[in-house]
Structure 1
């Protein structure tokens, strides 16, 4: 029996070259089938779905004998919503088709369009396809080879948080019950009285009584490995887009760079299923991929990452080391000449006891990718009105029977990008309920129901709910900062001319991204007045480096003067 995921291609004009190109690259891992028209493709799709075959990709020429390619791909949306869809343009069609293809992508009829290769080694053609297949494999297919195994008792709420971390790190994982035969080797390594959950990382280490923090620290190395007495040029606190950009630029310019992250590298952006408006990625990129590539890039330049423990305090150095800042985590400290705060924001809790008690069993904060596969043919809710909520709703719609987006605001356009609003409008299984909030929920071992309240009428309605993804706006994670760093009324860090005038030195404000403490900078979402977008956060992270260089130069001058 052929268990490979299928790639179905509807082609007539260039069928031979299309089949040759796909088979040459993808035949080992995918079942490639070329059909002559739309009717044959739909019939074959139905047969494969009935047989339980996963559909990885659907491709169609722009013009078929019995329909347009877009009509065919649109018709497959409710049948195989998670499959990637591609229009294949034959030579001569490209210029005339551009506007039609652009509108089709806005409507979510297709993921992309590519020209059929006219010669050998058309790598641009294959880059487009492999990117789509890579995202499909990560978000839909499930792991073929696991990098991390979890053993836990059924219903253990901690498993969801561990899986979420691993998914955001891009590490394929699977969950096994203690009586699963494949769990035996791990249980032997754990000893006679294992404490669940157990996690075995790709290094072979088995963690008992595992938590996301323990797993994260095991993946990237413990804080105990930091050499005593080392003073880094830059300590970056937070590894979201802003922190990662700062780390890339700092390390690439020869500065000794340490990055601290208490959660998953990538921050909140790392949980986004698909970011479509980030510069340089016309087909979009998942937050996980963006974070993964950025971490690798920074590491190759020499940046060192330590994860799994939150920063808890910053202090100025003693009198004999006034130029140093000391950054503390539980059980360790780092010395730095400059510090970049890039801690971002965290999602607010819903604050509904009947809901929050099911976190890990049907309720998640911040990430839809981990729960998505479990929501096949189920009813799911997303709470939030920002881009992350919109991305989650669109992604969940590829699996769930229905997705309901619940927002307090009266209009999504106040906080959500237009392209996402268009995608939501074009997805028939996504329903939007504005001016609505969740007021109750419940279930036995798993979330089973939610109660929604209309904010205008006060009317309440209880609905079946198998899953809930909460993305309730942002709160800065700044409670650990010293009093000397000024924040606004909402807790965001003030920088530059926005800091209180009584903290200016000699009548001059700090540098544009500098806080009220000299040598400590704030970038990205944690900074008051920031744009709260991935690209702007990355830009601020990069923009901090000239200011860091200026501060390091000032410190060197002071040392020479002494």
Structure 2
């Protein structure tokens, strides 16, 4: 395959843009077109030669009849490419006002001021971010740290693939060769021969966390903080606790990043004007926490919490043994609810997916897809799937998305010609052909319609899973953990409620989506994870 292409569409500013994008020429085919029409011809020629379009840079001073027409043409031609608009300084304020709504609708990934000199690193940081996200979500990996060997459609291999993708690990999935022997999936890493990996937790323990149970059992000191769950709230708690000198250890049963780690693009997170994928956000947060000394054990589940009494440490029981901790942060997040249609539950991994399933998006090229759910995760999944699928239908039980989804996503969805929203609609049946999802039956206003569908992505709201917590940790009627003044009065101590974010058990705290009354947003979860550390300090000061 040829190098991916960066296409510069410009008439007046070719010299400036060629000079600026020269630094990418070693790894990308940097090409210039003086008009949209010639740019489209170059894109088609590159596709025939197997060179994908990674980035299109559109000079907004182009003498085209309609910039909107130009954007529509490019978006329809290569929806997987990233789109960057650039404007020279004399016309930037004028064009920024005119194009502001186009950026909000997703017509551009960014609108930037054209550099006026050398080493404009602010400009290039934006370019690198766009190329980085394109490489992570679209391009095939050039280096494979891990190889998964399995027959096509093998369900565990798909789960391993999704886990490695969410962790940012370069990998590939390959069919068995003449010398390969099952059982499958087999996993190959640089330092070990092929071996059977039966589930995600085994892979997590080997690659990301410690490689055996004994290493977790070797943690025999009394820790200041054990964080259970490494989603946004847990990661923030790790960063702030470790940075303030507290001995911090995190357990995560699945992928670091939790549910947010599967989000294709979070655009309303503070400090990331061009958005950031959940995978990038979580891997950066984990690296930040490790820098301060936090330890992570992915693939390990907390099986039981035994509260300490009379000043004794709390005990967090795992398959490998007990961890002793002066404080515990419950940040286990939530899981998507099941659809409850038996015929479709049998097709999970074969066209039916719970969560955003970023790795499955590429397989939806040219297919018809249904996303069930009305929250931000569903909207982000739909926008990402629309880069590949022929059509994306968002099915939601409410009449529309206004009460459950952020306005910026609603705007972007409305502007995307590949996405439609069907309110007051639910999936009631489905079936397969040749083992994979082939059709769904949707119900609306009492009538049913059967339609061909090759992908179903279920983001159905959330359920907490707190079975490992003792009854002493009070929960609300839906199973979410109660904290602070929400704790029943009979569990207050000395007539005073627990501290903010503290549960009914002293020294056991809760942050993020699993907490009763939380906002169920990434930013609020990270805020709670950071804020809980001050409460931990207060507790430790009282008990020292």
Q: Under a length normalisation based on structure 1, what TM-score does the superposition of the two structures give?
A: 0.93
* 8 Å Cα contact 1:383-1:468 kept in structure 2: yes
Deviates more, 1:46-55 or 1:149-158: 46-55
**Of the candidates 425, 428, 442, which is equivalent to residue 439 of structure 1?**
428
The 3 A distance-change label for structure 1 pair 331 and 494 is: same
1:205 CA displacement: 6.3
Q: Under a length normalisation based on structure 2, what TM-score does the superposition of the two structures give?
A: 0.96
Matches within 5 A, 1:208-219: 208-219=196-207
Query: For 1:237 and 1:88, how far apart are their aligned partners in 2?
Result: 45
Residue of structure 2 in register with 1:120 after alignment:
118
1:252 aligns with 2:252: no
Query: For 1:349 and 1:258, how far apart are their aligned partners in 2?
Result: 31
Give the secondary structure class of the aligned counterpart of 2:289: helix
1:291 aligns with 2:282: yes
1:148 CA displacement: 1.4
**Of the candidates 270, 287, 299, which is equivalent to residue 261 of structure 2?**
270
The 3 A distance-change label for structure 1 pair 47 and 495 is: same
Matches within 5 A, 1:199-210: 199-201=187-189, 204=192, 206-210=194-198
1:405 aligns with 2:405: no
1:361 aligns with 2:359: no
**Of the candidates 438, 455, 469, which is equivalent to residue 448 of structure 1?**
438
Query: For 1:253 and 1:345, how far apart are their aligned partners in 2?
Result: 28
Give per-residue Cα distances to partners, 1:113-141, cap 9 Å, x unaligned. 12221111110111000100110011011
1:534 aligns with 2:522: yes
Matches within 5 A, 1:82-97: 82-97=80-95
Give the secondary structure class of the aligned counterpart of 1:335: strand
Give the secondary structure class of the aligned counterpart of 2:517: coil
Query: For 2:132 and 2:455, how far apart are their aligned partners in 1?
Result: 26
Residue of structure 2 in register with 1:57 after alignment:
55
Count of matched residue positions in the alignment of Structure 1 and Structure 2: 540
**Of the candidates 389, 394, 404, which is equivalent to residue 378 of structure 2?**
389
* 8 Å Cα contact 1:312-1:329 kept in structure 2: yes
Deviates more, 1:218-227 or 1:503-512: 218-227
* 8 Å Cα contact 1:38-1:67 kept in structure 2: no
Query: For 1:203 and 1:518, how far apart are their aligned partners in 2?
Result: 45
1:5 aligns with 2:11: no
1:68 CA displacement: 4.9
Give the secondary structure class of the aligned counterpart of 2:230: coil
1:305 aligns with 2:303: no
* 8 Å Cα contact 2:2-2:49 kept in structure 1: no
* 8 Å Cα contact 2:400-2:421 kept in structure 1: no
Give per-residue Cα distances to partners, 1:460-506, cap 9 Å, x unaligned. 11111111111000001212210000000000000000010011111
Is there any run of 5+ residues in structure 1 with no aligned partner, and where?
A: 188-192, 557-562
1:367 CA displacement: 2.3
1:427 aligns with 2:416: yes
Give per-residue Cα distances to partners, 1:1-56, cap 9 Å, x unaligned. x7011111111221111011112x21111111111112211222232234443110
Residue of structure 1 in register with 2:482 after alignment:
494
Query: For 2:419 and 2:382, how far apart are their aligned partners in 1?
Result: 7
* 8 Å Cα contact 2:374-2:404 kept in structure 1: yes
* 8 Å Cα contact 1:368-1:396 kept in structure 2: no
**Of the candidates 501, 505, 509, which is equivalent to residue 521 of structure 1?**
509
Residue of structure 2 in register with 1:174 after alignment:
172
Residue of structure 2 in register with 1:325 after alignment:
314
**Of the candidates 31, 40, 43, which is equivalent to residue 42 of structure 1?**
40
1:356 CA displacement: 1.1
1:475 aligns with 2:475: no
1:17 aligns with 2:16: yes
* 8 Å Cα contact 2:229-2:252 kept in structure 1: yes
Give per-residue Cα distances to partners, 1:379-418, cap 9 Å, x unaligned. 1111111000000000000000111111111120110000
* 8 Å Cα contact 2:475-2:481 kept in structure 1: yes
Query: For 1:28 and 1:482, how far apart are their aligned partners in 2?
Result: 58
Query: For 2:189 and 2:479, how far apart are their aligned partners in 1?
Result: 37
The 3 A distance-change label for structure 1 pair 59 and 252 is: same
**Of the candidates 184, 187, 206, which is equivalent to residue 196 of structure 1?**
184
Query: For 2:89 and 2:190, how far apart are their aligned partners in 1?
Result: 46
